[in-house]
């Protein structure tokens, strides 16, 4: 097993000032699997994934205790290279957020940041990333046009391609299809089943059917705690906790 793809979280608490947003989080996320995070709004799912690439560093009065290991490295240890961490742990947000520049420059942005300057090399990364994101055929003749000219679904696949261009090990996705139509959603779900052959994927979703379609494991969050975590099929067919059952059968949330 290639340890660099695994995420291990032990006894993690996260506070924003006096408010405790995450309580006693313990979870092992394995490489080359899709792990879905479900639960009602405000229960800590997005806070949790932002913790995995230290995006919470940008939030005032955010305090984290416990241990988060990625590839055997404590990502909150002193001396951690946060830029390298964010290269290895890519992020795709709820709303597509392409940079206001060309399709090509969006994808080339991260490789250039990490020192790749040769045109032939950048061309290769742009093509490869767009192919991985299922966007090459639609974008190959428009690479110099603004990324903002793409449709919403295309923009979200561009954002996935942009994350892949940094050559990450892990992809974090915060409700990546919630703003998209069913056809675009289907394309991204198909894409995830391909990408998990090479990447570890953690996805926040409010769509229970989506969780059952695309994920290997599911974690149910409630009020900042993980109530239940396991194989997706078991969580949805035989939940062990009554609160999980109540949520997935639509009794609350």
- For 188-211, what is each residue's pLDDT tens digit? 999 999 999 999 999 999 999 999
Q: Is the per-residue pLDDT at 127 higher than 60?
A: yes
For residue 138, what are its two tokens? 């639609």
**Could you give the maximum distance between any two Cα atoms of the chain, in Å?**
57
Mean pLDDT of 214-235: 98
Q: What is the DSSP string of 139-184?
A: HTT-TTSBGGGS-HHHHHHHHHHHHHHT--SEEEEESTTTTS-HHH
What is the radius of gyration, based on Cα positions, of the chain? 18
pTM above 0.85, yes or no: yes
Q: How far apart are CA 36 and CA 12, in angstroms?
A: 19
Q: What is the mean pLDDT of residues 80-103?
A: 95
List the chain domain ranges: 7-96+169-248
Mean pLDDT, residues 148-175 taken together:
96
Instruction: Give the tokens for residue 131.
Output: 């192919």
pLDDT in tens, 7-20: 999 999 999 999 99
Quick one: pLDDT at residue 72? 87
Percent of the chain with pLDDT over 90: 94
Q: What is the DSSP string of the chain?
A: --GGG-EEEEEEEEEETTEEEEEEEEEEE-TT-EEEEE-STTSSHHHHHHHTTTGGGGSTTEEEEEEEEETTEETTSTT--HHHHHHHEEEE-SS----SSBHHHHHHHHHHHTT---HHHHHHHHHHHHHHTT-HHHHTT-TTSBGGGS-HHHHHHHHHHHHHHT--SEEEEESTTTTS-HHHHHHHHHHHHHHTTTSEEEEE-S-HHHHHHH-SEEEEEETTEEEEEEEHHHHHHS-SSHHHHHHHTTS--
- Confidence band for 253, pLDDT divided at 50, 70 and 90: low
Does the domain at 7-96+169-248 match CATH 3.30.565.10? Answer given as: no
Tokens of 87: 């290269």
**What pLDDT does 2 receive?**
44
């Amino acid at each position: 097993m290639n340890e660099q793809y695994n995420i291990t979280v032990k006894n993690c608490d996260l506070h924003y000032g006096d408010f405790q947003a995450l309580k006693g989080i313990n979870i092992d996320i394995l490489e080359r699997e899709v792990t879905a995070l479900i639960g009602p709004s405000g229960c800590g799912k997005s806070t949790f994934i932002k913790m995995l690439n230290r995006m919470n560093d940008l939030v005032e009065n955010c305090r984290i205790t416990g241990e988060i290991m990625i590839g055997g490295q404590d990502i909150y240890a002193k001396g951690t290279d946060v830029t390298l961490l964010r290269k290895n742990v890519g992020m795709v947000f709820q709303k597509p957020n392409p940079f206001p520049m060309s399709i090509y420059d969006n994808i080339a942005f991260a490789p250039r940041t990490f020192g790749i300057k040769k045109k032939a090399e950048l061309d290769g990364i742009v093509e490869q990333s767009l192919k991985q994101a299922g966007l090459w055929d639609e974008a190959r003749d428009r690479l110099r046009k603004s990324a903002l000219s793409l449709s919403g679904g295309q923009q979200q696949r561009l954002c996935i391609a942009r994350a892949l261009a940094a050559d990450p090990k892990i992809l974090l996705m915060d409700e990546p299809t919630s703003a998209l139509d069913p056809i675009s959603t289907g394309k991204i779900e198909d894409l995830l089943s391909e990408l998990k052959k090479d990447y570890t994927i953690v996805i926040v979703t409010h769509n229970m059917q989506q969780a059952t379609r695309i994920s290997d494991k599911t974690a149910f969050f409630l009020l900042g705690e993980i109530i239940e975590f396991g194989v997706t099929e078991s969580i949805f067919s035989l939940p062990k906790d009554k609160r999980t059952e109540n949520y997935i059968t639509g009794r609350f949330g």
